[in-house]
Chains A and B, each alone.
Chain A
Amino acid sequence: MLENLTFVEHFQIWLRAFLILSLFSFLYKDNIFYKFSEHIFAGLSAGYYVGLIWRSVIVQQLINPMFDNSEWWLVFPGILGVLMFARLKPKWTWVSRVSLAFVIGNTAGIYLISSLHGMIFKQIAPMMVSVNQGDGLEKILLALLVIVGVITTLVYFYFSKEHKGALGVTARVGIWFIMIAFGAHFGYTVMGRISLLIGRAEFLFYQWGGSLTQIF
């Protein structure tokens, strides 16, 4: 049950309800209310991001450290950032490649390490353990299932030889594992999308409904 709402709170709830219902109206057919809400969302998001980047990057990470803490070396990344705008003039596009080279090199280095450490080594390591760990038949069967699943799926993505004979049979088993994975993803995606709907429906039912009850 909602506590007594102020005029501003009522207005906020009604505005949210209007925008939600306008967006949902697309399910019946495209209309002006849907387009209106969609454009408001796009415009607000763009404006918010511009303001946010200005405050959290330009001001907090460049201007403030330079002028408050005398971190003058930040002028170099600042110049690299300015060079990116050279792309706006075709004749000067090549200048922006200096900044892009830095970004690409830096990103590749950081992501390579995190992928190797966090994804590849740590995911392969559990595959290397013995299937006979003395944890009972269930654990052994599950370990075998994982090994079969990994190998057959990898074989499916081996395209240098035609999938015939033993290779074809193994690849077909791999397809089954891939399909089961897709099924799990589909099931979870349904749950996720329905959760979004439930969130909006609960807002309309409890908050907008509460506001309606208080007004009328």
Chain B
Amino acid sequence: MGFWERIANIDRRWIYLLVALSVTLPMIIAMKFPIGLTPEAKQLFNAIDALPDSSAVMLTFDYYPSTIAETEPMSVAALRHMFSKDMHVLTVSNIPLGGPSIAERVTRAVAAEFGKEYGIDYVNLGYRANYVAVMHGLASSIESIFMSDNTGTPLRELPMMQNIKNYDDLDFIYVVADNATVDYWISIVNAQYDIRVGSGVTAVVAPKMYAFVESGQMTGLLGGMKGAAEYEKLLGKKGTATRGMDSQSLVHLLVIFFVIVGNIGYFASRKKEKK
């Protein structure tokens, strides 16, 4: 068996080990790979930045706990940006498994950094089943869908909700999602109720979203951990996404190396077979 054949038949567990080492090495030795900025991330940042102070915005937590490495840094960076401009933040989740509790934990932690008060500066609506019906229902009355917040407090008792009754009272919707709900924020809420929507999505979802940015249906886009790191860079406050990007970049180099070696091995084996 030749060298390239041995490479082609290598036990895949060696590859797992190399990937594991590439992920953990930057946690021990900081590598500081550069993070470039994309126009889509700048567009989202500028859209939030251009909103008047004290605007009312909706931030969605449409993601499962399994993807928090990508999505939670987006939520944290967005909340820091919004609270730094004294915005009123309304959070909602269309994902039952984890979404509302992640929203509760993350929002309270970031609010504490800025001295913001629940009910006055931010409210967590929680989760209601059937997100298509929820998105349509919020257009006429938030209280018709969410009579109480995530902890059971009636919305009419929360000061912030006295001025936010439906989409007309919101200046922007910032969707953080790891699934198809983002499609409906665009095709229902943006298209039918004309509310500006920007999003931060997982890398798996991101490629499809570029078409919506190009068509003007979506105002800015963050794609995966890289997108979150970009927002952190624009905000000037490093977070877990920036930290994770060293591992991400090193593994990408490893994957590129494997792709090149795999292709050389394939062509070398084919050439040998022809002979």
Contacts and interface: CB of A to CB of B under 8 A. Distances in A.
B-side interface mostly: helix
Interface centre among A56, A114, A189 (most CB of B within 10 A): A114
A61 B130 CA distance: 11
Contacts of B214: 126
B13 A191 contact: no
Interface string A29-73: 000000000000000010011001100110011000000000000
Interface string B27-63: 1000000000000000000000000000000000000
Given A118-B191, A192-B70, A198 B129 contact: no
A56 B134 CA distance: 12
Contacts of B24: 201, 205
Contacts of A205: 24, 27
Contact of A201 (B183, B184, B223, B247): B247
A185 B191 CA distance: 26
Contacts of A28: 13
Interface residues of B, number: 49
Contacts of A188: 203-204, 206-207, 223-224
Contacts, number: 124
Nearest to A45: B97
A122 B248 contact: no
Interface in B182-224: 183-184, 186-188, 190-192, 202-204, 206-207, 211, 214-217, 223-224
B121 to A, nearest CB: 25
A115 interface: yes
Nearest to B146: A60
A48 B97 contact: yes
Interface residues of A, number: 42
B207 A185 contact: yes
B204 A201 contact: no
B119 interface: no
Contacts of A88: none
A60 B148 CA distance: 10
B225 interface: yes
Nearest to A206: B27
Contact of B69 (A57, A115, A185, A199): A199
B66 A196 contact: yes
Nearest to A184: B207
Interface in B228-275: 240, 243-244, 247-248, 251-252, 255
16 contacts: A27-B16, A45-B97, A56-B128, A114-B191, A117-B192, A118-B187, A122-B215, A123-B215, A188-B206, A190-B252, A191-B226, A192-B203, A198-B225, A198-B244, A200-B69, A206-B27
Given A117-B192, A196-B66, A202-B244, 17 more contacts: A49-B97, A56-B127, A61-B129, A117-B187, A117-B191, A118-B184, A119-B183, A122-B217, A123-B215, A191-B224, A191-B226, A191-B248, A194-B247, A195-B70, A198-B225, A198-B247, A205-B27
List 9 A-B pairs, minimum CB-CB distance, nearest first. Answer: A118-B187, A199-B69, A192-B203, A118-B191, A191-B203, A192-B204, A114-B187, A117-B191, A188-B203
